[in-house]
Amino acid sequence: MLRAYVDQRPPVAYLDRPLPIAFAHRGGAAHRPENSWAAFEHAIGLGYTHLETDARATADGILLAFHDRTLDRATDRTGRISRMSYRDVAGARVGGTEPIPLIEDLLGAWPGLRFNVDLKDVSAIRPMMDVLRRIRAWDRVCVTSFSARRLHAARALLDRPVCMALSPAGVATLRLTGGVPRCADLLAAKLARAGVHCAQVPLQVATPPFVRSAHNAGLQVHVWTLNRREEMERALDLGADGIMTDETVMLRDLLTQRGLWPS
């Protein structure tokens, strides 16, 4: 049975879009070089309002939209980003053709869009908070990380609340206690105080009990990274509130067929 998305009420401005939310993972890496201006522009041209990217800082504190620890795999240069100055990194080209965007430039270029930003290392935390402060992009960013310590450190530097995703430790706690009514109520209150409004998980975690527990705790469930149609359909049928994909055309077409793509 399909979920009635139209009756949902988003808890924060970042999530103030009709459900389910479509996220262009790394800008939509199936169609353009990942985390590149070309990828983000392509996704926006398709109608995406939420763009997923990653944050890494150079040795001199410049915040890049880049996934890997090193330049080696994704660009035409090599080296560990955290040990390089921005001047040394700036000449690298993603896929051999595209410059690496700055997080600040992406946020500034599209002030009406939302960005899901994964903090990939500790050195990215303070520069990310500084960018949010300068651009006043508090309501347009969801801060995520695979590290609870990084999320805690980011929260300590915030001047005002920002949407955050549940940490892996939080996901484990929700799986263990979310089905117990009193635990769910306590967890919901704790998460609300911490600014946590969504759980972003792989499809194998997004079971019906987990989705139900997350919703009971006041969280949206965003599933990553789904690049096959059958996976996308399964997540939608489970009641997922969002899907992240590299295959941005495929997801748009599927949601359009289901009458779920916003006009």
Model confidence pLDDT, tens digit, residues 107-129: 999 999 999 999 999 999 999 99
CA triplet 116, 39, 138: central angle to 5 degrees?
Answer: 25
| Range 14-37 average pLDDT | 96
Residue 153: pLDDT above 90? yes
Residue 202: pLDDT above 80? yes
Q: What is the pLDDT of residue 193?
A: 82
Q: Which of 25, 50, 215, 222 is catalytic?
A: 25
Question: Is the distance from CB of 213 to CB of 184 less than 8 angstroms?
Answer: yes
Dihedral sign for Cα 119, 121, 122, 123, please: negative
pLDDT tier, 183 (very low <50, low <70, confident <90, very high otherwise): low
Q: What is the pLDDT of residue 182?
A: 64
Q: What is the pLDDT of residue 42?
A: 98
pLDDT tier, 186 (very low <50, low <70, confident <90, very high otherwise): confident
Model confidence pLDDT, tens digit, residues 215-257: 988 899 999 999 999 999 999 999 999 999 999 999 999 999 9
E strand residue ranges, 126-236:
141-144, 163-165, 196-202, 220-224
Residue 3: pLDDT above 80? no
Spatial neighbors of 262 by CB under 8 A, at least 6 apart, are 17, 18, 47, 49
User: Residue 256: beta bridge partners?
Assistant: none
Residue 2: pLDDT above 50? no
The superfamily (CATH) of domain 11-257 is Phosphatidylinositol (PI) phosphodiesterase (3.20.20.190)
Q: What is the pLDDT of residue 117?
A: 98
Q: What is the pLDDT of residue 159?
A: 86
Residue 154: pLDDT above 70? yes
Give the count of beta carbons closer than 10 Å to the beta carbon of residue 159. 10
The closest of 196, 215, 263 to 49, measured between CA atoms, is: 263
| Range 163-186 average pLDDT | 81
Query: Left if phi > 0, otherwise alpha if psi is -120 to 50, otherwise beta: which for 218?
Result: left
Q: Which of 31, 67, 152, 197 is catalytic?
A: 67
What percentage of the chain has pLDDT greater than the value 90?
A: 81
| Weakest-pLDDT range from 69-83, 87-101, 177-191 | 177-191
Catalytic residue status for 67: yes
Residue 203: pLDDT above 80? yes
Residue 1: pLDDT above 60? no
Residue type, position 118, single letter: D
**Domain boundaries, given as residue ranges, for the chain:** 11-257
Q: What is the pLDDT of residue 112?
A: 93
Model confidence pLDDT, tens digit, residues 35-78: 999 999 999 999 999 999 999 999 999 999 999 999 999 999 99
Mean pLDDT of the chain: 92
| Range 163-192 average pLDDT | 81
